[in-house]
Amino acid sequence: MNTKHTILVVEDSLTQAERIKYLLEKNNYNVIVANNGNEAVKELESSTPDLIISDIIMPYMDGFELCRYLKSDGKPAGNIPFILLTSQTNIKDVIHGLEAGADNYLCKPYSEEQLVKRVSTILDSVDQIQNSVSEEISFDLSLIGEERIIQVRPMRFFSFLASTYETVIETNEELEKIRVELQNINENLEEEVEKRTKKMLLEATMRKQYQDALIESERSYRNIVNNALIGVMVSNFRGEILLANEALAGLLGYDSVEQLMKINTAVLCADKTKRIKLLRQLQQLGKVVNLEYDFTTKTGDTITTLINGTVDGETLSLLILDITERKKLEQSLVDAKAQAEESDNLKSAFLANLSHEIRTPMNAIIGFSSFLMEQGIDDTERQEYIKYIHNSCENLIEIVTDIVDISVLETEQIFSEYMECNLNEEMNILCDHLRKKYNESLKTIELKFVPPVINSADILLIDKTNLIKVLLNLLKNAIKFTEHGSIEFGYSFTGGGSFVEFYVKDTGIGIPENSKEEVFKKFRQLEEAHTKKYMGTGIGLSIARKLVEHLGGEIWFDSEINVGTTFYFTSPVKKSGKIYGSGLKISDRFSRSHDWSNKNILIAEDHDSNYFLLKKMLSNTKANLLWARNGKEAVDLVQNNSDLHIILLDIQMPVMDGITAIKEIRQITENVPVIAQTAYALNFEKSEIIEVGFDDLITKPINSDDLLELVGKFIN
């Protein structure tokens, strides 16, 4: 069989088109399908088949019109053989086809053998037809009492006569078979009648039994179908639903089975490609197993199902299982796996970066500390080494603080403490602190706080601790990514004064557009390679966002590459009604001297270095210091000394910890102020520490000015 012959099939019935295509492809023909005459004309613009087979009755353009159009003068497809599919009993179709220019016709119904034989005959004689006399001649025909004059090419006319003759021969053969059968029946009629009568009586009896059994079987079958937990559908290839159950109606969102059965299955299909695949698989294999199929519900939603089914002639029987939730779960597991893998990769990168961030300052601390122990270094070198050690220690504290903060935020153990403060004073203190700490970095950068024009002296109730943490993270980021220019920050009131909006503006490198969604994510950095230029753990902005959300505000930013970035965030605020006096200066906090020569201070600290550090910080106050190396010694000293003025009590000590010690101390005296020293630095600790009997707390590492201010608050 020639595998290069291409046949264009024009058929509006999907079922008939698929059947013809299947039969022809089975016999090694290439097949193109058009659903109507218009589609066929369009298809012929881009392809030239060897043969056209067309149904007669079609929408838009029927088979006669299509043939007449293609066979008209000047059409490229005029020489392509054309077979019409017609009804066996309608001889007028044959005449109309001949007038339209058809080369042959095939009567329905036809077998595979008839179709393939007719196609093969036409293709084998196509050269003969095309090379024959091209002039049309007139024929007078008298058919079924009707005179017709037909103009047609002789070879086409003879081809038509041949196909007609072939059809007549086939019909006569069938009629002859029937005649012989009738003759045989007539010859044995009486005997056959008697046999038939007995057989009919027997069949009638058996039919009654079968009918009764069938009725019972049908009743049982319907009960099973109606009570099934999965959808059941019986339909035909035209899409008409013949049977359905309540489970399927409910699955597709219809109020009843009757309402569902009025809908064509083509309407229920959410994916036309899958519908064609389903029908083709049923036609070719007779069944489908676990085919994923999308349905459209009455409300327009799409559900995913698993279909198992069989075909019996034109009847399709399907079992339909809803797997929408399972598919969502599978997708969620895939997404969760991808997210977990991304998180694992980010954490690995973070830990590697964290190791680098910790080891870098540690390297400076250990290295310069060893230099300090060497003989012969001058004061200039010593001061420079001490500065490096001090800066490295502060970098380590920042890293530890960031890790503690992100851990607290992740476990949602952060608490707010609203306190009275003047924002202008706090902003100026913050600005002064940053100028001192980042003196080297700010040599080429102008750092300034821009106070608002109005309401600048009001005392506000805010969560100062967390708010300052947010500003610190944003300002440190600005300093890190700005090499020259300026950094300014300030605030204004919004929402009728119920919110304060802060901003931090820099002239730094900016943030690329494709990274704007990533900057607030944990462990994310714009640079994640070994060649990165900027230091940091990559969690500062994540901490800032979580703190702002905890405060009840929002955070956002605008940025332009090589121009700069401005971060904004809001926080709820209340006015206390108080106003600061105009004479207050920031330097007042640090300029006050302390004379505590008549005061007794008990320091409970198990580490020698920590005790001697506190002793050095308090040396200028001339206070009398007592040292307890654990909680038990502290309790004994309180028991034996009635003139203590304040106690500095470490939380974590051997023999007896600070929590146990304060409880025993409070049984001895309620009057002596006790300040807790803690290295945990968790916000939620303060309220718990106050509850057990402490008056206040100070967090390690302890700043000298903070210590003197806090002790002075009680001892003065």
Q: How confident is the model at residue 580 (pLDDT cuts 50, 70, 90)?
A: very low
> For the purposes of burial, counting CB atoms within 10 Å of the CB of 415, is it exposed (0-12), middle (13-18) or buried (19 or more)?
middle
Q: How confident is the model at residue 251 (pLDDT cuts 50, 70, 90)?
A: confident
Contact assessment for residue 389 and residue 369, using Cβ atoms and an 8 Å cutoff: yes
Residue 312 to residues 220, 244, 245: CA-CA distances in angstroms?
A: 21, 17, 20
Does the residue 194 lie in any domain?
A: no
- Separation between Cα atoms, residue 674 and residue 700, nearest integer Å: 16
Neighbours of 639 (CB within 10 A): 13
Does the residue 188 lie in any domain?
A: no
pLDDT at 198: 81
Flag whether pLDDT at 360 surpasses 90: no
Taking the alpha carbons at both ends of the chain, their separation in whole angstroms is 113
Two structure tokens written together for 612:
């001697």
Span of 35-49, 563-577, 585-599, 663-677 with lowest mean pLDDT: 585-599
Strands (E), 597-716: 600-604, 624-628, 646-650, 674-678, 696-699
Rounded mean pLDDT, 421-438 = 87
Domain harbouring 305, CATH code: 3.30.450.20
Flag whether pLDDT at 240 surpasses 80: yes
Q: Identify whether residues 270 and 348 lie together within a single domain.
A: no
Q: Identify whether residues 71 and 121 lie together within a single domain.
A: yes
Q: Identify whether residues 439 and 402 lie together within a single domain.
A: no
Pick from 579, 607, 632: which residue ends a domain?
A: 579
Contact assessment for residue 535 and residue 441, using Cβ atoms and an 8 Å cutoff: no
Bridge partners of 35? none
Does the residue 187 lie in any domain?
A: no
Residue 140 to residues 152, 158, 614: CA-CA distances in angstroms?
A: 11, 14, 129
pLDDT at 313: 84
Span of 369-378, 529-538, 591-600, 639-648 with lowest mean pLDDT: 529-538
Span of 136-145, 428-437, 492-501 with lowest mean pLDDT: 136-145
Does the residue 216 lie in any domain?
A: no
Domain harbouring 455, CATH code: 3.30.565.10
Does the residue 95 lie in any domain?
A: yes
pLDDT at 441: 80
Does the residue 540 lie in any domain?
A: yes
Domain count across the chain: 5
Pick from 268, 299, 322: which residue ends a domain?
A: 322
pLDDT at 147: 63
Percent of the chain clearing pLDDT 70 (strictly above) = 77
Neighbours of 269 (CB within 10 A): 18
pLDDT in tens, 540-571: 788 888 888 888 889 999 999 989 999 999 98
Flag whether pLDDT at 584 surpasses 70: no
Flag whether pLDDT at 229 surpasses 80: no
Q: Identify whether residues 430 and 453 lie together within a single domain.
A: yes
Q: Identify whether residues 540 and 608 lie together within a single domain.
A: no
pLDDT at 503: 94
Q: How confident is the model at residue 655 (pLDDT cuts 50, 70, 90)?
A: very high
* Mean pLDDT score across all residues of the chain: 80
- Residue predicted with more confidence, 142 or 469: 469
Q: Identify whether residues 94 and 110 lie together within a single domain.
A: yes
What residues make up the domain containing 312?
228-322
Span of 32-46, 125-139, 195-209 with lowest mean pLDDT: 125-139
pLDDT at 638: 93
pLDDT in tens, 5-39: 999 999 998 888 899 999 999 999 999 999 999 99
Does the residue 71 lie in any domain?
A: yes
- Separation between Cα atoms, residue 661 and residue 634, nearest integer Å: 7
Q: Identify whether residues 306 and 435 lie together within a single domain.
A: no
Span of 178-187, 384-393, 522-531, 673-682 with lowest mean pLDDT: 522-531
Rounded mean pLDDT, 346-363 = 68
Q: How confident is the model at residue 631 (pLDDT cuts 50, 70, 90)?
A: very high
Highest mean pLDDT (candidates 192-196, 553-557, 704-708)? 553-557
Q: Identify whether residues 380 and 432 lie together within a single domain.
A: no
